Amino acid sequence: MSWDKLYDKARWNGLILNILATNRNGARRIQVDDIPNSDIPFINDLGEKAEYFQVETVFAGDNSIADSNAVIDQMKKDPKGTLEHPYLGELNLYYLTFSQKLTTKKNMVVLSLYFVAQGQEITLEGSASKTISNYTDPVLENSKTEFVNEVASASPDKIATIQAEFTSLLTKVRFVANQMQRPSQLLTEFHNEILDGFNSVSSIINSPQAFVDQIGVVMDSLALNAKALTYTRQDATNPTSNRKFAATELKKVEASSTTRHLKLQTTITRLKLSQAFEVASSSTTVSEASQQIQLDNALIELNELTSSLSDRLSESSSAATYDSIDLVDNLNSLNAEVFNQKSALQKLIDSIATEQVYSKTPSMLIAQIAEIDLSTFEGVNAIAHPLFISGEVKIPNG
């Protein structure tokens, strides 16, 4: 019997763990029974602390240390998740820290992971802002319904075209997945989802809803995996960065397709991949935005997205029926939201002053003279080389 057969399995956000032991510490109630300078004789019950979990996992073999470190890295990047435990069921936990024990016996690593149970999230009425998913989810659901209706009345030639175009999309997604640097377990799961997509292409006629749902799963996984890796401001112009590469490849498929749902699905996935939209929707100052992305490049990206969304809106409007009016309305709301974020970013950029640098000067020196953060300065200027800057430069206020 191989070593991994000896241990029960658990899953954390897609990662498979070999469980050695689990410790669960109950939560004590928090009470205040002695309030200084108060005559109130009652004990105030403030609720209970969160439960605490320690899970010991084991790795063995030549890659044991690498596999263990990959799990640690993934935990740090995404500390919130669900632990599917063989005895305790699904536990909504938050990763805290780890300890690692190495042994020469069978190249074994014992990794102790420490979690705390997630509490109930509190949302104040009237204070919650909409996320991009609040706009994209209704659009995709409406588009799926329209796609199912389209398939029901499509000719054999049209069905063949739809199958060919979705096969081309899945081939492109698999190509992008092959370029990603991610833990092997997560990539294997992603490739399995892509394979399920390929297998479902032949069932478009009989099960169009199941097919289009699987395509949605694949595209969501593409966005999730591409966004999981650390993003830097330079990635906005780096054609090999995961986000940029995935978005560029999807745009190629989008341009050559005639299927409305496919074009809409790829446009929305590109929107989900966009760091520019995330930053534009969450930043209120030049400093906040420019320290994460280069603003000029972000504006170019948002211009491309608004152009694509306008095309999708025109396509949906021209083919709209009474039954598909919800799709047009929701797509119009999405388009307006992206346009608003683009306008907000444009307003930030327009608020930046410009100055002339007459001799080649290092960016660090310019930032020091202007008394601004270096990353802020580089974020608002497209810099070819940080040591030799000349000509017109942008200087944010503060």
Stretch among 30-39, 61-70, 152-161, 327-336 having the lowest mean pLDDT = 30-39
Residue type, 85: H
**Which one is predicted more confidently, 149 or 50?**
149
Q: Which CATH architecture describes the domain 10-117?
A: Beta Barrel (2.40)
User: Under 8 Å CB-to-CB from 283, ≥6 apart: which residues?
Assistant: 289, 292, 348
Q: pTM above 0.75?
A: no
CA dihedral 147, 148, 150, 155 (to 10 degrees): 120
Q: What is the pLDDT of residue 231?
A: 44
Q: Write out pLDDT tens, residues 117-139.
A: 876 554 434 334 567 888 899 99
Query: What value does the mean pLDDT take over residues 343-349?
Result: 81
| C-alpha radius of gyration, the chain, whole number | 26
Q: Is the dihedral of CA 118, 120, 123, 124 positive or negative?
A: negative
In 3D space, the residue among 302, 296, 309 whose CA is nearest the CA of residue 276 turns out to be: 302
The DSSP bridge pattern shows strands 44-48 and 15-25 to be: unpaired
Q: Is the pLDDT of residue 258 over 60?
A: yes
Distance CA 59, CA 72 (A): 13
Instruction: Extract the runs of DSSP E, i.e. beta strands, from the chain.
Output: 8-12, 15-25, 29-32, 44-48, 52-59, 80-85, 89-103, 108-117, 353-361, 389-395
Stretch among 32-46, 78-92, 382-396 having the lowest mean pLDDT = 32-46
Q: What is the pLDDT of residue 262?
A: 95
